[in-house]
């Protein structure tokens, strides 16, 4: 059950980010608390105001806060949360995670996180099937990260195939079964 759970929702820069408002809303309705951590590219598809309004929490987008504010948020978020969900997860963020690259708010939070992580990929079918992306996912699976597989259907680019981020209600159901 998600009631009382604290969830970090990591959002990377894919078109499926438009579904994140609904995902936050459903997490809240299920009784969870949510904090959103985004990449800069995610903000091309969804606004901090939307995420902040729905989650009732500040959205973490920067590794370094303005002078006068001290709080290593990538560590404090990791301590606060029970699990981390990355949806959508682009090929780029999956590659950063698998390579240990920490150069934005989301990748630094991931590397500081030592609790269950669930990743919902979303990308073009050719990208999803690419051997490097599959290898990066295997690396992450090898350290215990769980993947919520993308579905087949029409993608934003017009191609029909596997790569659509799982629907928010199915992500919530998946977590309900796992937590």
What pLDDT is stored for residue 67 in this prediction? 47
pTM more than 0.85: yes
List the domains of the chain with CATH numbers: 6-178 (3.40.50.1950)
Angle separating helix axes 91-99 and 131-142, nearest 10 degrees = 50
79-117 pLDDT, tens per residue? 899 999 999 999 999 999 999 999 999 999 999 999 999
**49-77 per-position pLDDT tens digit:** 999 999 999 999 887 665 445 455 556 77
Residue 134: DSSP 8-state:
H
Alpha helices in 20-123 (DSSP H): 20-29, 48-55, 73-80, 91-99, 105-112
pLDDT at 119 over 70: yes
How far apart (Å, rounded) are the C-alpha atoms in residues 44 and 160?
24
Of 118 and 75, the structure prediction assigns the larger pLDDT to: 118
Nearest C-alpha neighbor of 86 from the set 8, 19, 163:
8
Mean pLDDT across 115-143 = 97
**Phi, then psi, of 18 in degrees rounded to 5:** -60, -20
Would you state the pLDDT for residue 73? Answer: 55
Give the pLDDT confidence of 26-36 residue by residue, as tens digits: 999 999 999 99
Q: Is 83 a catalytic residue?
A: no
Q: Is the pLDDT of residue 140 over 60?
A: yes
Pairing of strands 160-164, 117-121: unpaired
Task: Spot the catalytic one: 20, 36, 83, 157.
Answer: 157
Q: For the chain, give the mean pLDDT.
A: 91
The CA distance from 122 to 165, in Å, is 5
pLDDT tops 60 at residue 45:
yes
């Amino acid at each position: 059950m998600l009631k009382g759970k604290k969830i970090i929702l990591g959002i990377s820069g894919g078109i499926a980010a438009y579904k994140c408002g609904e995902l936050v809303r459903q997490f809240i309705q299920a009784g969870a608390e949510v904090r959103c951590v985004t990449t800069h590219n995610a903000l091309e598809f969804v606004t901090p105001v939307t995420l902040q309004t729905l989650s009732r929490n500040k959205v973490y987008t920067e590794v370094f806060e303005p002078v006068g504010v001290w709080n290593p948020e990538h560590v404090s978020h990791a301590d606060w949360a029970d699990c981390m969900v990355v949806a959508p997860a682009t090929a780029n963020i999956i590659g950063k995670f698998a390579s240990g690259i920490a150069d934005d708010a989301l990748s630094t939070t991931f590397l500081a996180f030592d609790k269950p992580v669930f990743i919902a990929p979303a990308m073009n079918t050719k990208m999803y099937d690419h051997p490097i992306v599959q290898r990066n996912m295997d690396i992450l699976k090898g350290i215990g990260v769980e993947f919520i597989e993308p579905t087949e259907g029409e993608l934003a680019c017009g191609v029909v195939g596997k790569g659509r981020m799982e629907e928010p209600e199915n992500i919530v159901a998946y977590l309900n079964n796992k937590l």
